[in-house]
Structure 1
Amino acid sequence: MGASRTRREEALMNRSASDRHWYRNGVARALTLVGALLITAIGVTAAAAPRATGSDEPGIVWLCRPGQPHDPCSIGLNATEVAANGEKTVVPARPAADSPFDCFYVYPTVSGEPAMNSDLQVQPAETGVARFQASRFSQVCKVWAPMYRQTTRATIAAYPDLNLPAESIDTAYTSLKAGFEDYLKHYNHGRPIVFLGHSQGAAMLIKLLSGIVDHDAGLRDRVTLAVILGGDVEVKPRSATGGSFRHLPVCTRTGQSGCVLAYSSFPGTPPASALFGRPGQGVALQSGQTAKTGVQVACVNPAAPRGGKAALEPFFLATRANAVTTPWITYPGLYSARCETGSKGAAWLQVTKSTGTRDKRRVVPVWPDADYGYHLNDANLALGNLVADVAAAESMWTATHH
């Protein structure tokens, strides 16, 4: 461990009492709870974690890699559909036998290590979130996910406005970039790519796409779809490009390929202090997007990319309390959503629950507070829609490249 990193870690440990109080009662608690729920729901243990399978390049470890033992992105996909009246129906699903498309997944903040940045050891937190967010995409692609030296929960908690130390962001991005370059060099072989990222993973993906892919016509042509959730992709007002990316546009219709599907979910207008959905603050700072004016946060409804309100297809990992025999559970008709815009460039996916008085299905909470909205469930509230969006984009990509 280098001296500079030691000093930084000491600084983290010496943050003010108010920050430590926030840490105990804010996002760290929320992320710890989510990690515990994931592990409880899927029975992940350290012994069941994927082996640290490297590639031809030193220092590369794969969280998800097709064919590796105990791959968290290749699990059972059958789901139990629970209707508003409580009726249950099993919905079968399975990974694609040999998809011609790859998915490159960048996971959100989950590391509980006490350092400023994580190491590359695969832990239950990483396997849990990969199963929770990425595994259902195996129906439509081969899922790849490198470990990266992400900014840890401890560091996030010490900087509640997400204005993180530049060295921590640089460490995370450099590590992810190495994983992506290794993937391109040894495994991609010119295959079309779907990019998937959430939260810190979305911020790192914005940096990766803007720094490597957006200006490379050859790579850009391989982009089937980029799903960037809870990361604040930005565009120029009334434009599909011009903020985060110069060439890659946000999606404006169903079945469009080569575009970006992005949103942050809230039950209503995000507070002025929100960490998502407002330009130049919160998560946007992790990708270097500091402008508060002249840009608009992008929102694409995964259930209706052209706009308007439509039903979401949520999927969650089942727990014992759900009393089902499948690894997944889904609630049709429980949620609907539409993109909304506000003042000062704000935009968000406004999620509403069923108003039926007989509908007793449990809904996800806003957690840990209003600044986060439904952030912890951005992906799973619309996971069925997102998988369908990827499939539609793949069909379009195939039609335009053959």
Structure 2
Amino acid sequence: MSRRSLAVALSCAAFLLLALGVSGASASTTWLCKPGLASNPCAPGLGTTVIDPTGAPQGTLTPAKPKHPKVDCFYVYPTVSDQKTLQATRKVDPEERSIALYQAARYESACRIYAPMYRQITLAGLLKPAGVTAKMRATGYQDVRAAWREYLKKYNKGRGVVLIGHSQGSFVLRQLIADEIDGNAKVRRQLVSAILLGGNVLVEKGSDKGGDFDNVKACRAPTQLRCVVAFSTFNATPPEKAVFGRSDTSPAVVQGKPTKSTEVLCTNPAALGGGSAPLTSLFPSAPFAPGTTIGALTTQVGLPQPQVSTPWVEAQAYTGRCSSDGGANVLEITGQTGAPVLHPLPDATWGLHLVDANIALGDLITLVQSQVKQYTAH
């Protein structure tokens, strides 16, 4: 698949979520990650090699893992399926296992992780949008909603929950929060926070709420609860037709069409109150599933691939700030001396979409740990 073809395909991704349905039933959930699950991709070791901006190792560390986590994390993965049909089955393939490792597993230092499989629109489906039916578009959301309800009924037992999503996963969770959480005070009290990356969360201009949600506000302090963190990463001013950061040109709408009164939310997890701050990046040392489309793209982004013995690599090679340059609200990153230059993929309109979940993963985990402490104290 060429970069141009993939760009055209992905540009249709958000449109495919506009017709999310709320009817229909789903079979019993297939769990990608769940406590006690055999061969759980969300339960690796936490050993970490710290590198400097050039990639040189500086030492190792192993974060503490809570024996009895006080809250859970509910993760919905982005578009990764390489199945040849337009819509994926709920079969667990290598690409889902890899994306769970890359994006969700490190949260194990703060929570128990639940991640359902869902019948998402595949990369093949995004290349042929004319063949994707409204029923197909609704099925993925129905799977996640059914999994959420099953989780609440069978596993939650009144615990707090952090929602985590990226790209198609964020679009689905935007709908889930709007339908199942935002207007339900009882369930909303259990929401610790929502991390919705690369998904164009909408708020009213000049406000931390409105747009997608009436009650779930933007996170602006480490101890704030029932709030959302959202950003898309760029290392240059987003172009006029940027897929992310623009409520007027982006197709990523859930609750309705964007209006002149809405804008895309950006919250910098390293500086929730605003301004610029160093970002702590975390990524697995293992390569993303070889032979897959996303696996091939991850090798082209430009992140360092140091040969280390630990499962994880940590670096502070970039600083980030929420920027509205060019009329797009995005997390704009700048490399420190010696840091690798990261490449927008599949083209400049997508920015650094492929690194959204890892570029500030250390900061996101620190934030979640702070929120968990606040939640359990009250």
Q: TM-score, normalised by structure 2?
A: 0.85
Structure 1 residues 21 and 224 mapped into 2: Cα distance closer, same or farther (>3 Å)?
closer
How far apart, CA to CA, are the structure 2 residues paired with 1:288 and 1:395?
Answer: 32
CA contact (8 A) 2:9 2:128 kept: no
- Residue aligning to 2:266: 299
Match 2:257 to one of 266, 272, 290: 290
How far apart, CA to CA, are the structure 2 residues paired with 1:24 and 1:265?
Answer: 22
How far apart, CA to CA, are the structure 2 residues paired with 1:129 and 1:289?
Answer: 29
Residue 252 of structure 2: SS of its match in structure 1?
helix
Q: Which runs of 5+ in 1 are unaligned?
A: 1-19, 30-56
Shift of 1:155: 1.8
Say whether 1:132 aligns with 2:114: no
CA contact (8 A) 2:238 2:326 kept: no
Residue 226 of structure 1 aligns with an amino acid whose one-letter code is A
- Residue aligning to 1:322: 306
How far apart, CA to CA, are the structure 2 residues paired with 1:283 and 1:80?
Answer: 39
Residue 313 of structure 2: SS of its match in structure 1?
strand
How far apart, CA to CA, are the structure 2 residues paired with 1:144 and 1:342?
Answer: 37
- Residue aligning to 1:59: 28
- Residue aligning to 2:58: 88
- Residue aligning to 1:209: 177
Say whether 1:379 aligns with 2:347: no
How far apart, CA to CA, are the structure 2 residues paired with 1:389 and 1:27?
Answer: 35
Please list, as runs of the form range in 1=range in 2, the aligned pairs for 1:325-340 lying within 5 A after superposition. 325-332=309-316, 334-340=317-323
Residue 247 of structure 1: SS of its match in structure 2?
coil
Shift of 1:88: 2.4
Residue 341 of structure 1 aligns with an amino acid whose one-letter code is S
Structure label with greater radius of gyration: 1
Shift of 1:169: 2.5
- Residue aligning to 2:44: 75
Match 1:313 to one of 272, 280, 286: 280
Say whether 1:242 aligns with 2:210: yes
Please list, as runs of the form range in 1=range in 2, the aligned pairs for 1:1-400 lying within 5 A after superposition. 24=5, 26=7, 58-84=27-53, 86-159=56-129, 166-282=134-250, 284-285=252-253, 287-319=254-286, 322-332=306-316, 334-342=317-325, 346-354=328-336, 356=337, 359=338, 361-399=339-377
How far apart, CA to CA, are the structure 1 residues paired with 2:219 and 2:240?
Answer: 26
Q: Which runs of 5+ in 2 are unaligned?
A: 11-25, 288-304
Residue 151 of structure 1 aligns with an amino acid whose one-letter code is I
How far apart, CA to CA, are the structure 2 residues paired with 1:137 and 1:22?
Answer: 31
CA contact (8 A) 2:4 2:346 kept: no
Q: Which has the higher contact order (CA 8 A, sep 6+)?
A: 2
Over the residues paired in the alignment, what is the CA RMSD in angstroms?
A: 2.3
How far apart, CA to CA, are the structure 2 residues paired with 1:92 and 1:23?
Answer: 41
User: C-alpha offsets along residues 116-153 of structure 1, whole Å, 9 cap, x if unaligned?
Assistant: 22111111111100000000000000000111111111
Shift of 1:343: 6.1
User: C-alpha offsets along residues 53-108 of structure 1, whole Å, 9 cap, x if unaligned?
Assistant: xxxx9431000001111101100111111124734211212532110100000000
CA contact (8 A) 1:312 1:381 kept: yes
How far apart, CA to CA, are the structure 2 residues paired with 1:342 and 1:245?
Answer: 25
Residue 86 of structure 2 aligns with an amino acid whose one-letter code is M
Residue 31 of structure 2 aligns with an amino acid whose one-letter code is W
Shift of 1:165: 5.3
How far apart, CA to CA, are the structure 2 residues paired with 1:341 and 1:99?
Answer: 37
- Residue aligning to 1:41: none
CA contact (8 A) 1:280 1:289 kept: no
CA contact (8 A) 2:203 2:211 kept: yes
How far apart, CA to CA, are the structure 2 residues paired with 1:315 and 1:365?
Answer: 18
Shift of 1:367: 1.3
Residue 163 of structure 2: SS of its match in structure 1?
strand
How far apart, CA to CA, are the structure 2 residues paired with 1:28 and 1:329?
Answer: 31
CA contact (8 A) 2:188 2:226 kept: yes
Structure 1 residues 352 and 23 mapped into 2: Cα distance closer, same or farther (>3 Å)?
closer
Alignment length (residue pairs): 345
CA contact (8 A) 1:23 1:158 kept: no
Percentage identity across aligned positions? 36
